[in-house]
A = this chain, B = another copy of it.
Amino acid sequence: MLNQSTPLDRAFQALADPSRRAIVERLTRGPASVSELAKPLAMTFPAVMQHLAVLEGAALVASQKIGRVRICRLEASTLDRAEAWLNARRAEWERRFDRLGRYLEELQKEGGDDEARN
């Protein structure tokens, strides 16, 4: 389990938690302070901070402190990279079905010949 995790590992790992997904969801609608993010979550403030640390560690969220308030914003490009991975899998999957489709079409044609012979 030697922790040598890639950016993609960290992104998916971060998104695997419903509280963290809720935070991401909120941040798609614009930046927010930590306490603003904490409000709808049924847990203590430090717990929310730890979730934010995970999200920042995954580069899904960035933040900057202004006065005593920390403003968090979404890092959409990281979300994109996760989506891109899934997209690539789907692309390969669909490519495979195309091939299968063409193969079955070929069978159909040949099958038609067979049927003609009956």
Residues of A within 8 A of B (CB): 5-6, 8-10, 12-13, 15-18, 21, 24-25, 28-30, 74, 76, 79-80, 82-83, 85-87, 89-90, 92-93, 96
Contact = CB atoms under 8 A, between A and B. Distances in A.
A30 B92 CA distance: 10
A76 B41 CA distance: 32
A79 B82 CA distance: 12
How many chain copies?
2
Most B Cβ at <10 Å: residue of A10, A21, A93: A93
A6 B74 CA distance: 23
9 contacts: A12-B12, A13-B13, A25-B89, A28-B92, A30-B96, A79-B89, A79-B90, A83-B87, A86-B86
